Structure 1
Amino acid sequence: MKIIEGEFGCPVSHMFSYVSDEPVASASFGQVYQGRTVDGSLVAIKVQRPDLLPSVLRDIYILRLGLAFIRKIAKRRSNISLYGDELGRGFVGELDYNIEAANATKFMEVHSRYPFMLVPKVLKQLTRKRVLTMEWVAGENPKDLLSLSKGVSEKFTQASDNQKLEAKSRLLDLVNKGVEASLVQLLETGLLHADPHPGNLRYTPEGRVGFLDFGLLCMMERKHQRAMLASIVHIVNGDWASVVYDLTEMDVVPPKTNLRRVTMDLEDALGEVTFEDGIPEIKFSKVLGKIWSVAFKYHFRMPPYYTLVLRSLASLEGLAVAADGTFKTFQAAYPYVVRKLLSENSLETRRLLNQAIFNKRKEFQWQKIDAFLKLASARTNFKYNSEVLPEPDMKSMNVASLVEISDAYSLDRAIATPERALHTANLCVRLLLSKESIVIRRLIMTANAKSLARDLISRDALMFRVLLSKVIADVVYQWMLSATGLKRVMETKIQTPMTTGKNEGHLVLAEEPSTLMVLQAAVKDRRIQLMFTKFVRELREEPVLMIRVSWNVFLISVSSAAVGLHRFLVFFLKEDGARFLDDKVKKMKIWLMEFSKRTANLEIQGIL
């Protein structure tokens, strides 16, 4: 209390109506108390311990001496004492809570557009050099969640099995969101939380990740962000030579290092890694250990941002593995990377996407595309509300929108019903027409049209042709409904059930643009016309292939028309269709009767 009064120059009661007698947590250089402001807001008050500066300076001096001794014994070329200097600057900066307040405000502003991340607001009027006041973050500590899920702590020994399962679910949700938050800092904002251990995280009741302790932040260069993104893609692809190049771009591999030897050692260390659905079947900590073994051999440098990211991901994986031994960081992280590649239109991301999807002949690698699509739609990272999301505007639709809408309708792609085929095709075409999908359109324009045509008429693409037939059949079906006037009846009276595997919902046809409307927009779109023209122009160079493609298109069209006609007849002969027909007949009879009466009246009047 003396420190608070000394910093503000007035009694504590003038600023806070309540301050806890005992600290609720310990920080690096201080203790955290719970309190309330005079207006009743619940806050966290961080108070610095007295006389810290001399102790910190002494410890930094001892650390520098120790690092210099280690450098001499290990005969390292790099000056590792610089790490002590960097650490010292950070420690001295942490002694001024005004700097931490500015860091927290900056971190909150930069990451405010990510709703799953929560950064407490700083109360500047109640902050001084040795006192920091922030909003109170109500949430669960990851270690408490782990203890509850395992039932190992005395505090949680009486927990039921259901409580343990719920705690495990919350912990894994926290870890997945923590991994994505790390990637957001790494690849999007470039502003890293420099102390990302589990003690500085909270899982809020709303399912958000709360961040604490902003004494140190690290700002990344754009060059390092690009290299880090590339390294993730290359690790997943098993391209170790490119990984070494990426490490060079990150300033991890020192100049004049024999890159070929580094690549060979890295291949030996990681060459036995197996892949499942395009994801390495290995834990991140194990990959990290193998990279460290190569790093020590070749005297790699470890920039602060690199160490922070690795530490953050490794600690999150440790928490998750303790609760679920099957958890894999790469599986949690790669969907975010894929969505970034599919949505960001930059030279670097397009180059990476081409490397990941095309072979050297610019032919699609369908296995990787299949893995990409699965990963891009993977939403195990987050717990979303099951309510149906609002339909976004077609012009602003992006990959994330497509994924969220697909989740909202809970489409199970394993069950290929006409409704699912229709909805999936509807979303894909709308995505292709959207402004944000320039990357996907460029990807299609880059592809080898002849190879794509061969793939589309191959036996492996049978399911794609079946899906296309169902979509065209639905277009024919909708056109017939519109032409006969039955569509209004269907829109107002009929809902199409869709079984999702776990839940059963209903999709009203009028809730989203019809596939017919979307396809009409696609046909009129100049960009789609350009892609189609390029496709046909390249096919003309091989007449036999052109004939085979045309024959397949003819078969799909005929079968689709037949299926669409069959669906129309089935609907027409049902009760609503029969009632509609009866209404038409009744109206015709009434009209004929009226016509007969009028004719009779005219005859009586002698007009006819």
Structure 2
Amino acid sequence: MAPLLTLDALLFNMIGGQLKRFAKARKDLLVAVNEIVRHMFDEIDYVLEGKNAERFAILYSQGSGGEGRTSIKVPKVYWTYTRKSILALEWIDGIKLTDAERISKANLNRKKMIDEGLYCSLRQLLEDGFFHADPHPGNLVATEDGSLAYFDFGMMGDIPRHYRVGLIQMLVHYVNRDPLGLANDFHSLGFVPEGTDLHAVATALSVAFGDGRRQSNDFQGVMNHLYDVMYDFNFSLPPDYALVIRALGSLEGTAKALDPDFKVIESAYPFVIGRLLADPSPDMRKILRELLIRDDGSIRWNRLERLIAAISQQSSEESSKKPGDENTASSSDWRSFDMHSVVSATEDLFHFILSRKGWRVYLRKREIQAS
């Protein structure tokens, strides 16, 4: 394989160079080509793949929060028999996620499997940063006990924290329908060239999203809105962020095999809110303030109400659990809120409301209502 891939790499670079020279192709074309080549060689190094599998297992298959339980399985690597060109893995019996008949016969809980797979993927992309870049149905199977088993760790990504925070911020700005906020996100992450008119980008995004009826909560729908804007303004995505897009697309496609109505952005939003509430870092607090407070200082009361309702509902569910239920894994466990984190997170909002600026906003609102 290595000599064949070397020839492919040479041809890729020759073709890319000619396209760049004569067809005025994008400046980052060769960067993308080289990244593809790098992953091609990574995928035939089975020692590296074995190390990736073990790292993935430690991060996502060892239980979370000290609970010691998980519904994610990763095959064990047998290092005695593994070499650079041989990968020896534990055998795991499973059912393909596209085999609806066998999943039904096994009485597996589809919603729970989707929740667990989504939770695992969002932890990869938004918390730890080490992620499986190709979670398509061929690389995931359902086991008889309803767990999800991952395979094929040749294509992995490592996304730095500032990109993870940027992904959260983009999701918040998208849900808030804030095109200028999105444009600023793209600029701060280096997606658009320096000197680009961000107001023009924001206008193009507004046109792409249209009115509220056109806004999509499924990932492919969002990307369909963005592709033209990204092309027109010569967006340049870092290689690992391109892998993030691939991973989210594959995740949604895999989940739709179990639930055709699944929408990754809509389903991911509760997890994002939980991250914002639980993380005391300044960048997360800033995003939370943007979620609840507009640029003019007014409060997004509808979002605050929905947030409080979600916390209240979760609190009611926790208090209604029967003795012994705390040891039972539930598909909604990952949506639970730590009330200490909630109190800490809302301090910023209450400080604003009680501040001179917040009081001025309140008085202005009363004047408008009176008139």
* TM value normalised by structure 2: 0.80
Which residue number in structure 1 is paired with residue 153 of structure 2?
A: 214
In 2 relative to 1, CA 309–299 (structure 1 residues): closer, same or farther, beyond 3 Å? Answer: same
Deviation at 1:180, TM superposition (A): 2.7
What is the DSSP-based 3-state SS (H/G/I as helix, E as strand, rest coil) of the residue aligned with 2:95?
coil
What is the DSSP-based 3-state SS (H/G/I as helix, E as strand, rest coil) of the residue aligned with 1:135?
coil
1:36-435 alignment to 2 at 5 Å? 52-72=1-21, 74-111=23-60, 112-114=62-64, 115-145=70-100, 148=101, 163=105, 170=110, 172-274=111-213, 281-321=216-256, 324-360=259-295, 364-373=299-308, 388=323, 432=339, 434=340
Residues 98 and 257 of structure 2 are in contact (CA less than 8 Å); yes or no, is this contact kept in structure 1?
Answer: no
Partner Cα distance (1:141, 1:347) in 2: 43
> How many equivalent pairs are there?
344
Deviation at 1:217, TM superposition (A): 2.0
Offset from partner CA, 1:461-518 (integer Å, 9 cap, x none): xxxxxxxxxxxxxxxxxxxxxxxxxxxxxxxxxxxxxxxxxxxxxxxxxxxxxxxxxx
Deviation at 1:274, TM superposition (A): 3.9
In 2 relative to 1, CA 174–313 (structure 1 residues): closer, same or farther, beyond 3 Å? Answer: farther
Residues 73 and 148 of structure 2 are in contact (CA less than 8 Å); yes or no, is this contact kept in structure 1?
Answer: yes
Q: Which amino acid aligns with 1:131?
A: I
What is the DSSP-based 3-state SS (H/G/I as helix, E as strand, rest coil) of the residue aligned with 1:263?
helix
Partner Cα distance (1:293, 1:444) in 2: 37
Deviation at 1:269, TM superposition (A): 0.1
Residues 119 and 212 of structure 1 are in contact (CA less than 8 Å); yes or no, is this contact kept in structure 2?
Answer: yes
Partner Cα distance (2:300, 2:17) in 1: 51
Larger Rg: 1
What is the DSSP-based 3-state SS (H/G/I as helix, E as strand, rest coil) of the residue aligned with 2:157?
strand
Partner Cα distance (1:77, 1:64) in 2: 14
Q: Which amino acid aligns with 2:195?
A: K
More strand by share: 1
Which residue number in structure 1 is paired with residue 351 of structure 2?
A: 446
Offset from partner CA, 1:246-265 (integer Å, 9 cap, x none): 12233322223222211111
What is the DSSP-based 3-state SS (H/G/I as helix, E as strand, rest coil) of the residue aligned with 1:192?
strand
Partner Cα distance (1:324, 1:440) in 2: 34
Residues 285 and 345 of structure 2 are in contact (CA less than 8 Å); yes or no, is this contact kept in structure 1?
Answer: no
Deviation at 1:116, TM superposition (A): 3.5
Offset from partner CA, 1:21-53 (integer Å, 9 cap, x none): xxxxxxxxxxxxxxxxxxxxxxxxxxxxxxx11
Q: Which runs of 5+ in 1 are unaligned?
A: 1-51, 149-155, 380-385, 393-399, 405-427, 452-537, 546-608
Partner Cα distance (2:245, 2:145) in 1: 28
Partner Cα distance (1:313, 1:140) in 2: 22
Residues 293 and 299 of structure 2 are in contact (CA less than 8 Å); yes or no, is this contact kept in structure 1?
Answer: yes
Deviation at 1:336, TM superposition (A): 0.3
Residues 134 and 155 of structure 2 are in contact (CA less than 8 Å); yes or no, is this contact kept in structure 1?
Answer: yes
Residues 252 and 264 of structure 2 are in contact (CA less than 8 Å); yes or no, is this contact kept in structure 1?
Answer: yes
Deviation at 1:320, TM superposition (A): 4.2
Offset from partner CA, 1:545-586 (integer Å, 9 cap, x none): 9xxxxxxxxxxxxxxxxxxxxxxxxxxxxxxxxxxxxxxxxx
Partner Cα distance (2:250, 2:43) in 1: 23
Residues 170 and 185 of structure 2 are in contact (CA less than 8 Å); yes or no, is this contact kept in structure 1?
Answer: yes
Offset from partner CA, 1:297-318 (integer Å, 9 cap, x none): 1221122222222222223333
Offset from partner CA, 1:265-290 (integer Å, 9 cap, x none): 11110132349xxxx55432111011
Which residue number in structure 1 is paired with residue 369 of structure 2?
A: none
In 2 relative to 1, CA 447–206 (structure 1 residues): closer, same or farther, beyond 3 Å? Answer: farther
Q: Which runs of 5+ in 2 are unaligned?
A: 65-69, 315-320, 367-371
Alpha-carbon RMSD: 3.4
In 2 relative to 1, CA 117–163 (structure 1 residues): closer, same or farther, beyond 3 Å? Answer: closer
Residues 377 and 403 of structure 1 are in contact (CA less than 8 Å); yes or no, is this contact kept in structure 2?
Answer: no
Partner Cα distance (1:318, 1:389) in 2: 36
Q: Which amino acid aligns with 1:440?
A: A
Deviation at 1:389, TM superposition (A): 5.2
- Identity over aligned residues, as a percent? 28
Partner Cα distance (2:216, 2:31) in 1: 37
What is the DSSP-based 3-state SS (H/G/I as helix, E as strand, rest coil) of the residue aligned with 2:88?
strand
What is the DSSP-based 3-state SS (H/G/I as helix, E as strand, rest coil) of the residue aligned with 1:264?
helix
Residues 335 and 377 of structure 1 are in contact (CA less than 8 Å); yes or no, is this contact kept in structure 2?
Answer: no
In 2 relative to 1, CA 94–271 (structure 1 residues): closer, same or farther, beyond 3 Å? Answer: same
In 2 relative to 1, CA 322–182 (structure 1 residues): closer, same or farther, beyond 3 Å? Answer: closer
What is the DSSP-based 3-state SS (H/G/I as helix, E as strand, rest coil) of the residue aligned with 2:15?
helix
Which stretch has the larger CA shift, 281-290 or 369-378? 369-378
What is the DSSP-based 3-state SS (H/G/I as helix, E as strand, rest coil) of the residue aligned with 2:89?
strand
Residues 277 and 345 of structure 2 are in contact (CA less than 8 Å); yes or no, is this contact kept in structure 1?
Answer: yes
Q: Which amino acid aligns with 1:446?
A: H
Partner Cα distance (2:245, 2:262) in 1: 17
Q: Which amino acid aligns with 2:188?
A: E
Offset from partner CA, 1:199-237 (integer Å, 9 cap, x none): 111223333332111113221111111111100111000
Partner Cα distance (1:108, 1:371) in 2: 35
What is the DSSP-based 3-state SS (H/G/I as helix, E as strand, rest coil) of the residue aligned with 1:134?
coil
Residues 95 and 141 of structure 2 are in contact (CA less than 8 Å); yes or no, is this contact kept in structure 1?
Answer: yes
Between the two structures, name the one with larger relative contact order (CA 8 Å, sep ≥ 6). Answer: 2
Q: Which amino acid aligns with 2:117?
A: G
In 2 relative to 1, CA 238–390 (structure 1 residues): closer, same or farther, beyond 3 Å? Answer: same
In 2 relative to 1, CA 202–324 (structure 1 residues): closer, same or farther, beyond 3 Å? Answer: closer
Residues 334 and 375 of structure 1 are in contact (CA less than 8 Å); yes or no, is this contact kept in structure 2?
Answer: no
In 2 relative to 1, CA 320–130 (structure 1 residues): closer, same or farther, beyond 3 Å? Answer: closer
In 2 relative to 1, CA 403–312 (structure 1 residues): closer, same or farther, beyond 3 Å? Answer: closer
Which residue number in structure 2 is paired with residue 553 of structure 1?
A: none
Offset from partner CA, 1:418-439 (integer Å, 9 cap, x none): xxxxxxxxxx9xx65x4x4453
Partner Cα distance (2:342, 2:19) in 1: 53
Q: Which amino acid aligns with 2:90?
A: E
Which residue number in structure 2 is paired with residue 509 of structure 1?
A: none
